[in-house]
Structure 1
Amino acid sequence: MDRLSGLDASFLYLETPAQLMHVCGVLVLDATTMPGGYSFANLQSGIEKRVRDVPAFTRRLRRVPLGLDHPVWVQDKNFDIERHVHRLALPTPGGYDELTDLAAHLAGLPLDRSRPLWEMWVIEGYQGDKVAVMSKMHHATVDGVSGANLISHLCALSATDDPLVPATPQTQPREPGPGELLGRGVVSTATKPLQVARLLSPSAKLVTKTVGRARAGTAMAAPLTAPRTSFNGTITGRRSIGLADMSLDDVREIKKATGTTVNDVVLTVAGGALRSYLEDRGELPDDSLLATVPVSVRSSSKRSEGANKVSALFTKLGTDIEEPLERLRDMAVRNQHAKDHHNAVSADALQDWAEFAAPRTFGLAVRAYAGMRLAERHPVVHNLVISNVPGPPVPLYFVGAKIESLYPLGPVFHGAGLNITVLSNAGDLHVGVIACRDSMPDVDDLVNRFPAALAELRAAVAAEGLTSIG
């Protein structure tokens, strides 16, 4: 039996029919590299062979009686790969528009909680002979790093190599009875006041330090200070998806020339794309957009349990700054302040406080929040979520098929109906943008501005004589 951590369980409680808490990915594959050639049956059986002994793919949820504690993972004794890996074909002409429309539809469908919380849709007929795979996995099961580790069970360095992380047979855990689960829930509930007392002192010290940083001008950007945009309101369950590619070499050249980081450059490019998008729509606010940036704390966390080991920082994207190089320099300073501020916080602070998320109360509160459309009444917490995820530096093969592109897609939230994720892959940067279709139906108009914003920044760096590029 494996109890969900409070943070893992929170993603279950946050979920509503409109606010789905799974993470997605769109893989574009060259299936001609598969040994013996491509067939759906071969791909499906190859996936089954690689995941059958990986617990994250074969476990399902079991609720604690009366909702007294977070759910537990138990082995799915009826695991069937046919319930998780499905086959579709794109309508003619099978291009980008058809793929993103289908992916957006699939992203808007909830996962079945009676089974392991993942599925893949193998989509044939993309650009003629290519195959795309739309993957979905619940955030209760993975964060960015653990998701990459799970993908490693399916990928190899060549079409014929073994997976990067081979699966090993697992001992079937004992499944607890209702009485045991109820007893554990009672104990957990009874000890929570002691846990609260333990967290109050360090949390109070953190508030004091944050006030000091704010006065000194070295604090990260504060939530609830974001300007309102058209994608900051109550979301629906409909999704729109946009995909784009950029050169990782260009980003690295800018980083080297300016003494910044890859993350600084990526966030600056995102700020430029968003500024251009909003300006052309006549919606550019005077103040900068505020983004939530997830941060992995896996290397510094003292907790061994839980799939999600993440924290978050807030940063302004410089959408109020027209000149791209000035925006980059401002971003570098802001990011350093945000990192220093974030590092002063316990790596496990978010996980510790998430333990107190009560299953029933939390779920009811989220539904009331959505039903009363409160996201449109209080100050905007943040405008969007944006992630920059390091991926494989060399080409990988997914069950023998070469991965040409891998576009990550995160969840969207009431009040922040836009998520941007950038992932590096074998010298490229793949940009995945997902939004609530009813607040941003023209997501392609945004994602197509990323390469242009990078080119604009690159030209500005060259014009300053900081590098020979241009």
Structure 2
Amino acid sequence: MAPKVQHLTTLDAGFLQLEDTDRHISLAIGGVAVLAGPAPEFGVLRDLIGTRCLTNPRATQVLRTHPLDLVAPEWVDDPTFDLIHHVRHTALPQPGDDAALFAEVASIMERRLDRERPLWECWVIEGLAQDRWALLVKVHHALADGIAASNLLIGLCDDTGVASFASSIGAAQHPSRRPGPPMPGLNPLDWVGDSVRFGLSAGKLALRAAGGAAEITASMLRPAARSSFNGPIGDLRRYSSTAVKMHDVEEIAHAFGTTINDVALAAVADSYRAALLRRGQQPRPDSLRTLVPVSVRATDAMDVSDNRVSLMLPLLPVDTADPLQRLRAVHDRLTVAKSSGQRQAGSILLWATNLIPFPVTAWTVRLLSRLPQRSVVTVVTNVPGPRQPLTIMGHKVIHLLPIPPIAAGFRTGIAIFSYADELTFGLMADFDTAADVDELATGIARGVQRLHKLATSTGRSRRKGDLLLLSNG
């Protein structure tokens, strides 16, 4: 019996089509593990990486596309696969500081992956200061979302058993996987019937999320305020990163009754507000509409390489000067976005597009991708990671840095990743229009520090109040 053909979903294929419409973008995502040195011998390390990576079937598969997008691309085995093409080696110029590492990350990520080969690379980077080295995993977004890509990186570690995302994402939050819809055939006459079946199936689903769909549609049609953070991008990138203590973030969230994600987004808003002022632009209520991906990955699909996300489109309150008011505004807006059904609507609509004949969705995505995009300014994605320290070949993983892509008029993008006792922000930016990416990163850390100072002050005030009550009693 011939193996079952595995087609890309509409969302997976959409990343290929988006990349095709702009020669300046590379829709790869990834992560960097910074490790204690010295680095192992490259040949030995390459063999280990090969052994651990090749357990994933996508590691040795290539995309087979079809003329005119009549059928969705499919994964097929690569008969000429050679590990040498995928595990690379480089070294930083001295002094090998963070600036040198970030420049190397940007250089690696700005280059497109070769679609004639499996869509991943792993880079061994030597020469980091303080006797460190790094491992960079790069995969195309058509192959993986943030959680899937992070699992690929963590899969290289010595004990993958401690690195399960299932423990940090409850099954109640992510419904079980629906069976995949049948793929349309080559006969255009069948597309009418497929579309009718789609209408009957999606009609009931749309009623459940009509409010959320209306919110998303209105957000996409409403242009954001003009900003230097939005517009055409070139083919060169800048990368930066900053980390804050997870304990501090948790203390802020506890003190003010918010979530960790609320705190992270409030710190992002703090930094972008400062950047707008630095650039001579007045922050407005509609200056920073943000695409926030939301995972809908079931706990039994954590190791599957594909995209399983919905979205929300909140306006981050960069017009608010007070840090605490800004945090509360972020919390309120995300609460409204969740209750309005944006997340459910996005998930249902993305799933329902798989019932539409693929040529219709492919041509539509290509057309829309060529139009100027002015409603969303940036993307901020948050992926939960392992709280236990990891090792690779016995070398301690000191930091894990996430790497987002930029496209569709986003001149900056932010990925957030939690590891051990750190919450790390990775920022990718267009080289020519976002030279202040390091200041953006520093501004995020400063935003967390401001909130933590307020949280500790609140905590001291509460403790003093409790002592007064006890003494009076």
Residue of structure 1 in register with 2:8 after alignment: 4
**Amino acid corresponding to residue 395 of structure 1 in structure 2:** P
Q: Secondary structure at the match of 2:317?
A: coil
* 8 Å CA contact 2:163, 2:385 repeated in 1: no
Deviating more after overlay: 64-73 vs 189-198: 189-198
- 1:446 aligned to 2:440? yes
**Amino acid corresponding to residue 439 of structure 1 in structure 2:** T
Report the alpha carbon displacement of residue 364 of structure 1 after superposing the two structures with TM. 4.9
Q: For the structure 1 residues 221 and 410, does the alpha-carbon distance in structure 2 shift closer, same or farther, using more than 3 Å as the test?
A: farther
Residue of structure 2 in register with 1:403 after alignment: 397
RMSD of aligned residue pairs (Cα, Å): 3.0
Write the deviation string for residues 430-457 of structure 1: whole angstroms up to 9, x where unpaired: 1100011122022101111121111111
Q: Pick the aligned partner of 1:249 from 243, 247, 250.
A: 247
Matched length: 432
Q: Secondary structure at the match of 2:347?
A: coil
- 1:222 aligned to 2:219? yes
- 1:457 aligned to 2:451? yes
Q: Secondary structure at the match of 1:185?
A: coil
1:122-137 matched pairs, under 5 angstroms: 122-137=124-139
Q: Pick the aligned partner of 2:269 from 256, 271, 275.
A: 271
Write the deviation string for residues 352-393 of structure 1: whole angstroms up to 9, x where unpaired: 226645386357526743xxxx34xxxx21110001211110
Provide the C-alpha distance between the structure 2 equivalents of 1:436 and 1:355, rounded to a whole number of angstroms. Answer: 36
**Amino acid corresponding to residue 424 of structure 2 in structure 1:** H
Q: Secondary structure at the match of 2:107?
A: helix
Report the alpha carbon displacement of residue 412 of structure 1 after superposing the two structures with TM. 0.9
Q: Pick the aligned partner of 2:280 from 279, 282, 304.
A: 282
Q: For the structure 1 residues 123 and 201, does the alpha-carbon distance in structure 2 shift closer, same or farther, using more than 3 Å as the test?
A: same
Residue of structure 2 in register with 1:299 after alignment: 298
Residue of structure 2 in register with 1:22 after alignment: 28
- 1:260 aligned to 2:266? no
Residue of structure 2 in register with 1:382 after alignment: 376
Report the alpha carbon displacement of residue 328 of structure 1 after superposing the two structures with TM. 1.0
Q: For the structure 1 residues 208 and 109, does the alpha-carbon distance in structure 2 shift closer, same or farther, using more than 3 Å as the test?
A: closer
Report the alpha carbon displacement of residue 339 of structure 1 after superposing the two structures with TM. 1.2
Q: Which runs of 5+ in 2 are unaligned?
A: 165-182, 464-473
Provide the C-alpha distance between the structure 2 equivalents of 1:42 and 1:278, rounded to a whole number of angstroms. Answer: 48
Write the deviation string for residues 300-352 of structure 1: whole angstroms up to 9, x where unpaired: 999x9971111100112211111111111111111111111235527332132
Provide the C-alpha distance between the structure 2 equivalents of 1:105 and 1:306, rounded to a whole number of angstroms. Answer: 25
Provide the C-alpha distance between the structure 1 equivalents of 2:392 and 2:186, rounded to a whole number of angstroms. Answer: 41
Report the alpha carbon displacement of residue 147 of structure 1 after superposing the two structures with TM. 2.0
Q: Secondary structure at the match of 1:316?
A: coil
Q: Pick the aligned partner of 2:100 from 92, 98, 114.
A: 98
Q: For the structure 1 residues 449 and 132, does the alpha-carbon distance in structure 2 shift closer, same or farther, using more than 3 Å as the test?
A: same
* 8 Å CA contact 1:391, 1:424 repeated in 2: yes
* 8 Å CA contact 2:90, 2:123 repeated in 1: yes
Q: Secondary structure at the match of 1:17?
A: coil
* 8 Å CA contact 2:28, 2:140 repeated in 1: yes
**Amino acid corresponding to residue 24 of structure 1 in structure 2:** G
Residue of structure 2 in register with 1:179 after alignment: none
* 8 Å CA contact 2:184, 2:191 repeated in 1: no
Provide the C-alpha distance between the structure 1 equivalents of 2:242 and 2:198, rounded to a whole number of angstroms. Answer: 45
Report the alpha carbon displacement of residue 242 of structure 1 after superposing the two structures with TM. 0.7
Q: For the structure 1 residues 366 and 164, does the alpha-carbon distance in structure 2 shift closer, same or farther, using more than 3 Å as the test?
A: same
Instruction: Give the TM-score normalised by structure 1.
Output: 0.84
**Amino acid corresponding to residue 424 of structure 1 in structure 2:** S
* 8 Å CA contact 2:255, 2:458 repeated in 1: no
* 8 Å CA contact 1:14, 1:362 repeated in 2: no
Q: For the structure 1 residues 75 and 280, does the alpha-carbon distance in structure 2 shift closer, same or farther, using more than 3 Å as the test?
A: same
* 8 Å CA contact 1:220, 1:313 repeated in 2: no
Report the alpha carbon displacement of residue 122 of structure 1 after superposing the two structures with TM. 1.1
Percent of pairs identical after alignment? 32
Q: For the structure 1 residues 86 and 362, does the alpha-carbon distance in structure 2 shift closer, same or farther, using more than 3 Å as the test?
A: farther
Instruction: Give the TM-score normalised by structure 2.
Output: 0.83
Q: Secondary structure at the match of 1:194?
A: helix
Q: Which runs of 5+ in 1 are unaligned?
A: 166-181
Provide the C-alpha distance between the structure 2 equivalents of 1:221 and 1:126, rounded to a whole number of angstroms. Answer: 47
**Amino acid corresponding to residue 237 of structure 2 in structure 1:** R
Q: For the structure 1 residues 185 and 149, does the alpha-carbon distance in structure 2 shift closer, same or farther, using more than 3 Å as the test?
A: farther
Residue of structure 1 in register with 2:430 after alignment: 436
Residue of structure 2 in register with 1:176 after alignment: none
* 8 Å CA contact 1:301, 1:309 repeated in 2: no
Q: Pick the aligned partner of 1:138 from 137, 140, 150.
A: 140
